Structure formats: C-alpha cells, structure tokens
C-alpha cells in the first residue's frame, strides 16, 4: 500500500458516508455495574468455547464490513493519487485454549523468573487467552528475558478489530515494536468502557487489563515501571481510562483522535501520568474543542490538557509551542512531574498519522517516562 507522506494521510473514506479508512470510527461508552472477581473466570468449557466463537465471529464480521468499505473507497480514489485502503484477512485467528487470569505478582528482591513457558517467541505475533477474553501480542526480536522489557497496550477503535488496529497503527513496525512488548486486548462488543457504545460494565475492561498485565508477567520479564497505552478514537478514550483509573499501573498514555467521553476522565486517581493527545483541528467525529455525541458530552483536547496540567503539578497556563512535521504544532505544559502534550494537527480530520510517525513520536516521549 502506498502512503502519502503528509500528516494529512487519511484513514477515512473519500465520501462523507464512509467514516474511516483505518477500520475505525469514534464511538464511546456508558459505564454499567462492576462484576465480581469470580465473574471474570466463571463458566463451563462450553461457555468458554461459545465466547471464543462469538469473538471470532465478531472479528470476521468486522473484517467483512471493512473489506466492503475498502472496495468502495478504493473505487472512489482517482488513479495516481498514491494511496489506497488495505484489505483485512478473513477468518480471524483461532483462539487459544482458555486459562484463568494470574494473581498479581508479589514483589520480589531477586531476579524475575517465568512461571510458564513463552507462548510466543521473539519476533513473532500471537494470541493469549486470559479468563474468558484474550489479547494479541507482539514480542520484539531483541527480547531478552534477563532484562525487564517495557509494555505498550494498544486499544482498537469502535467497531474495529484488534488485528486491524495492529496493522494500521504500525506500532510493531515503529520504534515501539523494536523496544517493547505490544499487547492488543480484544474489546467486547467492539467498544470500551467510558463510551456510550460500551457493552461492558463499569470496571470490567479495567479489571481485564489488569489481569492481562499480570498474565503477561507469567511469561515475560516486563518492566512494571514502564507500562504505556495508546489507542485510536474510542480506543484513545480507553487510553484515557487507563491514565485516569489505572494510574498506579500506567506510566503514560497517548490518545490519537481520542473520543474522550466524560467518564474517561472522572474521579481519577491522584497520581501523575504522562499524557499525550494527537488530534486534528478539523475532526468531524470528535471535535478538537469537545462537544456532544450520542447524547453524551465528550471533552475537548484543551479540557484534558488543563486537567493533566493540574494533576501533574505543571505551571498551569505556562506552555511552549514548537512545530512538528509539515502541519502540526506540539503544545507542551511546563514544570510538570510527568509530560503533558497536545499535538495539534492543523486542518486534519479523524486519523492516525504516518508522517511524521505518530507511533515513533509518542515513543520518543513516553519511553523516557517511568513510574
């Protein structure tokens, strides 16, 4: 696939009726009740098989819808434009056998030791079951079990698959994939808590992400001081949920064209977390300055920026600005305990950007931050 080398490289369709070329569009979630710890692993093998089949069917349906849209978009793009939309593979990868989530690791004064064999070798992709859910994983080629390795969590957008987000985000192909283990948790109902479109109850996705990280540590020597998250659209909203409600776990997050519905930034833990927001000034799905969508208020980038200025102990209102690439400005808070930045992409819509690389840019900032 050819890529236009501008910050305006679009992941949306050529017509107003086609929302995104990355297989993603904004959408959000409404919190509902908190499950008990037993609910995460409850159910017979039949229930686990049914859940696995449902997840595979959902991924296949999403991929079929994506391919239909891709055919429309590619047909509408004039020849010689130099860009096209990729097609997604069908069927979705088979699910691995289910297993119960591991308990939180106990602090140890000695070297890390695996409690289970590596399910995925360095330089490879895979999928791991934890409880009644699963996550995709990329293990960097240079992974060395004698050294703690940072982790990046990647959240897909509304009505998108984890595979599609893995492909278009290019986290694996960036410096993130060179340095970090990347995990892509599978969403239930193709959405995340905090958004009006969520199928999960309040705390359910949070509980799963914590279980996923604990499970990951069974196999790999992860650096628990350097765990990060990113996501596109509603996945960007879940990255904000991670910074708000799992600040004890995450060192920093980066939302890309994020759908920051009110719950994703309410009643946060009072712990500094690095926060980056990449957003187009002409975003027609989640406006840069906020608004109302699906009957729910969503926060604008300036609102989030201000809240993290206060939370991270910055010099509130004292900012610096610097150009980034062809068409963007980096706005940075000053005097902060952890970085707070807004990358304002002028005139751009609801996209994940490639030039400069969104993935490489966020990693240049986040990789220097630890708990």
Strands of the 328-333 sheet, one edge to the other: 124-130, 133-139, 181-185, 149-155, 222-232, 252-256, 274-280, 340-345, 328-333, 319-324
**pLDDT tens, residue by residue, 212-234:** 999 999 999 999 999 999 999 99
Peptide bond into 180 cis (omega under 30): no
Query: Residue 23: what pLDDT?
Result: 35
In the numeric block, which tokens belong to residue 279?
A: 């957003």
261 in any annotated domain:
yes
Whether 42 is covered by a domain: the verdict is yes
Report yes or no on 355 lying in a domain.
yes
Residue 241 within a domain: yes
Q: What is the pLDDT of residues 84-117, one digit of tens each?
A: 444 454 443 443 444 444 555 554 456 898 899 9
Contact 35, 207 (CB under 8 A): yes
Classify residue 9: in a domain, yes or no.
no
- Residue 19 is assigned to a structural domain of this protein: no
Note whether residue 29 is domain-resident: no
Strands (E) across the chain are located at 124-130, 133-139, 149-155, 181-185, 222-232, 252-256, 274-280, 291-293, 296-298, 319-324, 328-333, 340-345
Cα–Cα distance measured from residue 277 to residue 303, given in angstroms and rounded to the nearest whole number: 11
* Rounded CA separation 198/29 (Å): 4
Q: Is 0.75 surpassed by the pTM of this model?
A: no
Return the CATH number at 227. 3.40.50.1820
Query: Is residue 268 a part of any domain in this protein?
Result: yes
Burial class (CB in 10 A: 0-12, 13-18, 19+), 141: exposed
pLDDT tens digit string along 289-316? 999 999 999 999 999 999 999 999 999 9
Count of domains for the chain: 1
- Give residue 320's domain range: 38-96+112-366
On whether the CB atoms of residues 280 and 303 are closer than 8 A, the answer is: no
Q: How far apart are CA 216 and CA 2, in angstroms?
A: 35
């Amino acid at each position: 696939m050819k890529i236009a080398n501008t910050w305006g490289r679009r992941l949306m369709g050529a017509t107003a009726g086609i929302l995104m070329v990355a297989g993603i569009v904004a959408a959000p979630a409404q919190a509902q009740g908190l499950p008990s710890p037993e609910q995460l692993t409850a159910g017979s093998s039949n229930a686990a098989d049914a859940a696995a089949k449902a997840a595979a069917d959902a991924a296949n349906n999403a991929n079929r819808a994506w391919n239909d849209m891709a055919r429309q978009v590619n047909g509408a793009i004039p020849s010689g434009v130099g860009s096209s939309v990729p097609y997604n593979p069908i069927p979705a990868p088979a699910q691995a056998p289910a297993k119960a989530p591991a308990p939180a690791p106990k602090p140890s004064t000695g070297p890390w030791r695996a409690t289970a064999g590596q399910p995925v070798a360095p330089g490879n992709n895979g999928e791991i079951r934890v409880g009644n859910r699963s996550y995709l994983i990329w293990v960097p080629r240079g992974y060395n079990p004698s050294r703690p390795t940072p982790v990046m969590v990647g959240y897909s957008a509304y009505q998108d698959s984890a595979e599609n987000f893995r492909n278009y985000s290019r986290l694996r192909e960036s410096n993130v994939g060179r340095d970090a283990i990347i995990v892509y948790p599978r969403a239930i109902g193709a959405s995340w808590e905090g958004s009006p479109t969520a199928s999960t109850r309040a705390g359910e996705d949070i509980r799963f992400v914590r279980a996923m990280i604990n499970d990951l540590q069974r196999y790999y020597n992860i650096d628990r001081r350097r765990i990060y998250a990113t996501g596109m659209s509603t996945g960007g909203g879940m990255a904000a949920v991670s910074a708000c409600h799992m600040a004890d776990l995450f060192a920093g997050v980066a939302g890309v064209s994020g759908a920051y519905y009110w719950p994703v930034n309410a009643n946060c833990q009072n712990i500094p977390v690095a926060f980056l927001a990449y957003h187009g000034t002409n975003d027609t799905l989640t406006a840069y300055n906020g608004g109302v969508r699906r009957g729910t208020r969503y926060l604008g980038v300036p609102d989030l920026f201000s809240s993290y200025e206060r939370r991270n102990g910055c010099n509130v209102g004292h900012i610096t600005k610097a150009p980034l690439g062809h068409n963007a400005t980096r706005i940075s808070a000053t005097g902060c305990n952890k970085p707070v930045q807004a990358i304002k992409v002028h005139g751009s819509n609801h996209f994940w950007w490639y030039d400069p690389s969104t993935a490489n840019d966020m990693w240049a900032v986040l990789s220097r931050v630890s708990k």
